[in-house]
Each structure stands twice: as C-alpha cells, then as structure tokens.
Amino acid sequence: TGLGVPPRVIDYVVGVVKAYTTRVGRGPFPTELQNEAQDLDDFMEPYLGPEKRMERKGHARGPFVLSTGNLVKVGEMLQEIGAEYGTTTGRRRRCGWLDIPLVKYSSMLNGFDSICITKLDVLTGLKQIRVAVAYRNANMTEVRLPSGYFPSHLRDLENVVCEYETLDGWTEDVSGCRRFQDLPRAAQRYVLRVQELIGVPVSSVGVGPDRAAMLQVKEPLGRGR
C-alpha cells in the first residue's frame, strides 16, 4: 500500500464498524432506511430519548427536531444525529440498520481479531433497534441463505431481503459513559449480541467523538442476551 508497514509485522487486526450501516453513492443496500435525497418512506419508531434540535442550513424542511414520545424516521435520524455527511463533498450518506452478513464477510476477508463499534450513542432514544442477521432470496423468502454467505456479484445482492432481529433500545444519554459497565443494560446487550452474531470479540465501543469516549470491552464471546 506504500505505507511502509510490511504484512509480516502486523499481528493484530481491529475492524472498525459503526453501530449501524452507511453507504455513499449508488448500489444495492439491503438494510437501507433512508437515501441521500431523503425521499424513501423510512422506518418509523417511537423516540424516547432526550429532546434534540439539529440545524440544517438550507434544508427544505428546516431543522431536524427529536421530541420525546413522537415517532421518528429512523434513517433520517441516523443521518442527522450521526452527522452522516461526506467531509469533502458534503453528500448525505445513505443509512440503514446494522448488516451482520456484511460485517461477517468483511471480518472473514480481513481476518479481524476484534471489532471496534463506533457511534453507539447515535442509536440512543429508539424504543427498539433492528439488526439484520441473515439474508433470504427475494424470490424465495422461505429460503434462508447459509450463515456467512455474501453474494459475489452486485446483481445477486440486489435480490436479497433481510431477516431481522429486534432488540430493546435505551433512553439514557450514553455520551458521558467512560466504562462499558456504565452503559445502560440494553446498550450493553446490543453490543454483546453483535459480538455473538459476528463471532469476533468487541474490543471497544465509541459513544462520542472524543478520544475518551472510546470504551474498552472485555466481555468473552458467548455472552449475548
């Protein structure tokens, strides 16, 4: 790669994964909730967290507001609360639920020794959180594709639908947590369930942009729900 780091000296690989899935540009996106133009129907979920207001200069619908007890468009919430905009282009990223088959495939290709989950705080306030745990053929939804399967061609990826697992969300602000044990129980269960589904230990979790907001996780595999 030109970095001057020969492969033989790398003895530990950490995969960095958001607590949800994002993508820029065109192409299949099985767990997509909202696109760049914000014109998809999106998934509606009760919001139970603290009230928030995000200014959106020049946006046709004005500021993005989260009000406790109201329904929220989850994909749009991920975009705005997660600041999912391209640093250089300013393009809005497409957002969706966490895609476990995609993460497992990436882990297999790159040989992850552990996973770092970032932006866990962005999910705060959702009553329930969905995770895609498997793919099914869109033309034969009764057929669950094998564990670890990931299409080798984009046309095949366009023809999958997701099987979801629903987990309880949390209402507490987690951005001030500095130990994994300080997270709400539901947030801990989310992290441990992702660890269990991927089959790779989660070594750290991010709950904010500061370096101190990266929490160390030392929970063994097998600890899920």
Tell me what pLDDT residue 185 has. 98
Phi, psi (deg, nearest 5) at residue 200: -130, 135
Average pLDDT over residues 97-120: 96
> Cα–Cα distance between 6 and 112 in angstroms, integer?
17
Tell me what pLDDT residue 145 has. 85
Taking only the tens place, the pLDDT of each residue in 59-99 is 889 999 999 999 999 999 999 999 999 888 888 999 999 99
Tell me what pLDDT residue 1 has. 56
Confidence check: pLDDT of 2 > 90:
no
Confidence check: pLDDT of 51 > 90:
yes
Percent of the chain with pLDDT over 90: 77
**Inter-CA distances, 168 with 14, 25, 48, 113, Å:** 27, 31, 12, 28
pTM: 0.92
Phi, psi (deg, nearest 5) at residue 199: 80, 20
